[in-house]
Amino acid sequence: MMELVCPAGTPAALRAAVDAGAHTIYCGFADETNARNFPGLNFSREELAQGVDYAHRRGAKVLVAINTFPRAGAEGLWHRAVADAETADVDAVILADLGLLAHAAEHHPDLRRHLSVQAAAANPDAINFYATAFGVRRVVLPRVLTVAEITAINREIDVETEVFVFGGLCVMAEGRCSLSSYITGKSPNMNGVCSPPSHVQYVETKGALDARLGGYTIQRNAKDEPAPYPTLCKGCFQSGDMTGHVFEDPSSLDAKDLIPALAKAGVTALKIEGRQRSRAYVAQVVRSFRTAVEAVAAGRPVPPGTLASLTEGQAATTGAYRKTWR
Amino acid sequence: MSDIHTPFPTVPSLLAKPLSFVPLAPIAQALTVLARRLVTRHPGLISRLGPYVDSSFAIAPTDLPVTLLLRPHPTAMRITLHRDPPRADARIAGPLSALLGLVHGTWDGDALFFSRDLVIDGDTSAALALRNAIDDCELDLGAEIAGLSGPFGRLLMPFIDLAERRTGMPLRRAEARP
Ligand code: SF4
A264 shares its domain with A133: yes
Q: Are strands A200-205 and A269-272 parallel, antiparallel or unpaired?
A: unpaired
- pLDDT tens, position by position, B19-76: 999 999 999 999 999 999 999 999 999 999 999 999 999 999 999 999 999 999 988 8
Residue A326 CB neighbour total at 10 angstroms:
9
Give the separation between CA A210 and CA A109, rounded to whole angstroms: 50
| Domain shared by A90 and A215, yes or no | no
Which chain A residues are Cβ-neighbours of B51 within 8 angstroms?
Answer: 39
d(CA A325, CA A323): 6
Q: Are residues A84 and A8 in the same domain?
A: yes
Instruction: Tell me if A96 sits within 8 A of A78, measured CB to CB.
Output: no
pLDDT at B177: 67
Provide the domain count of chain A.
2
Best residue among A195, A218, A312 to mutate for probing ligand 1's pocket (most ligand atoms within 8 Å of CB) is A195
Residues A190 and A256 in one domain: no
Give residue A89's pLDDT.
98
Question: From ligand 1's centre to the CA of B48, what distance in Å?
Answer: 26
Which tens digit of pLDDT belongs to each residue from A23-45?
Answer: 999 999 999 898 788 889 999 99
Count of residues making up chain B = 178
| Beta-strand relationship, A138-140 and A113-115 | parallel
- Residue B80, pLDDT score: 97
Cα–Cα distance list, B83 to A72, A167, A237, A283, B26 (Å): 53, 39, 40, 37, 14
**A128: number of CA atoms within 13 Å, CB side?**
9
Ligand 1, atom 7: nearest CA belongs to which residue?
A170
Sorting pLDDT into bands at 50, 70 and 90, what band is B178? low
Looking up residue A135, the CATH number of its domain turns out to be 3.20.20.70
Map residue A205 onto helix, strand or coil: strand
Name the residue facing A12 among B113, B114, B135 (closest C-beta). Answer: B135
Evaluate whether residue A106 is within a structural domain: yes
Chain segment A215-256, per-residue pLDDT in tens: 999 988 887 788 878 888 888 888 888 888 888 777 788 999
Is the pLDDT score of A4 beyond 60?
A: yes
Q: Are residues A83 and A137 in the same domain?
A: yes
pLDDT band at A260; cut points 50, 70, 90: very high
Residue A271 lies in a domain: yes
Q: Is residue A240 part of a domain?
A: yes
Distance CA(A24)–CA(A35), nearest Å, equals 18
DSSP assignments along A158-195, one per residue? SSEEEEEEEE----SSTT---HHHHHHS--TTTTS-SS
Whether B2 has a pLDDT exceeding 80, the answer reads no
Of A197, A204, A279, the CB nearest to B135: A279
Please check whether residues A116 and A234 belong to one and the same domain.
no
CB A124 within 8 A of CB A157: yes
Alpha-carbon gap, residue A27 to B177, rounded angstroms: 27
Same-domain status, A186 and A149: no
Q: How many whole angstroms separate alpha carbon B99 and alpha carbon B117?
A: 10
| A228: containing domain | 179-244
| Contact in structure between A203 and A209 (CB atoms under 8 Å) | yes
Q: Which of A178, A179, A236 to mutate to test the pocket of ligand 1 (most atoms within 8 A of CB)?
A: A179
Distance, CA of A246 to chain centre: 23
CA distance A133 to A128: 8
pLDDT of residue A225: 82
Helix (H, G, I), strand (E, B) or coil at A66: strand
Answer whether residue B160 shows pLDDT above 90. Answer: no
- Binning pLDDT at 50, 70 and 90, where does residue A143 land? confident
What residues in B contact A38, CB-CB < 8 Å?
A: 128, 132
pLDDT at site B93: 95
Domain boundary among A221, A244, A267: A244
Q: What's the whole-number average pLDDT of chain B?
A: 90
Residues of B in contact with A201 (CB under 8 A): 124
Within 8 A by CB and 6+ apart from A284, the residues are A20, A307, A310, B1, B108
| CB contact residues (below 8 A), chain B span 151-170, against chain A | none
CA distance to A61, A214, B68, B159, per residue, from B106 (Å): 26, 32, 21, 20
The answer, for A42 touching chain B at a CB cutoff of 8 Å, is no
Work out the number of other CB atoms within 10 angstroms of the CB of residue B59: 21
Residue A283 forms contact with B (CB below 8 Å): yes
A150 lines ligand 1 (CB under 6 A): no
Distance A193 CA to ligand 1 centre (A): 10
Comparing B141 with B155, the larger pLDDT belongs to B141
> Nearest 5°: phi and psi at A147?
-60, -40
Indicate whether A111 and A212 sit together in one domain: no
Q: Does A181 touch chain B (CB under 8 A)?
A: no
DSSP character at residue A229: P
Nearest CA in chain A to B46: A40
A193/A134 same-domain check = no
Q: What is the pLDDT of residue B148?
A: 78
**A265 and A316, same structural domain?**
yes
* Residue A209 bridge partners (DSSP): A204, A221
pLDDT-derived band at B9, boundaries 50, 70, 90: confident
- Inter-residue contact B118 to B94 (CB < 8 Å): yes
Specify the CATH number for B13-139; select among 3.40.50.2300, 3.30.1050.10, 3.40.50.1000, 3.50.4.10.
Answer: 3.30.1050.10
The per-residue pLDDT for range A44-70, each reduced to its tens digit, is 999 999 999 999 999 999 999 999 999
- The residues, any chain, with a CB within 8 Å of residue A49's CB and separated by 6 or more, are A87, A88, A89
pLDDT of residue A116: 95
pLDDT beyond 80 at A312: no
DSSP per-residue letters across B154-177: HHHHHHHHHHHHHH----S-GGG-
Determine which of A241-245, A258-262, A318-322, B26-30 has the lowest per-residue pLDDT on average: A318-322
String of DSSP letters for B91-160? EEEE-HHHHHHHHTTSS-HHHHHHTTSSEEEE-HHHHHHHHHHHHHHT--HHHHHHHHTGGGHHHHHHHH
Same domain, residue pair A39 and A93 = yes
Does the beta carbon of A190 lie inside 6 Å of ligand 1? no
Verify that A143 and A50 share a domain, yes or no: yes
Expressed in angstroms and rounded, the spacing between residue A143 Cα and the centre of ligand 1 is: 12
Do A249 and A236 contact (CB within 8 A), yes or no? no
**What pairing do the DSSP bridges indicate for beta strands A316-317 and B57-61?**
unpaired
The domain boundary, picked from A201, A228, A244, lies at A244
Q: CA geometry: angle at A156 spanning A150 and A159, to 5°? A: 80
Tally of CB atoms within 10 A around B91: 21
Confidence band of A146 (pLDDT split at 50, 70, 90): very high
Kindly state whether residue A199 falls inside one of the protein's structural domains: yes
Q: Which of A223, A244, A265 is the last residue of a domain?
A: A244
- DSSP conformation letters of B17-84: GGGGTS-SHHHHHHHHHHHHHHHHH-THHHHTTGGGGG--EEEEETTSS-EEEEE--TTT-EEEEESS
Residue ranges covered by each domain of chain B: 13-139, 140-178
Helix axes B124-137, A279-297, angle to 10 degrees: 60
Q: Is A170 in the pocket of ligand 1 (CB under 6 A)?
A: yes
> Is residue A195 pLDDT above 80, yes or no?
yes
| Chain B touched by A312 (CB under 8 Å) | yes
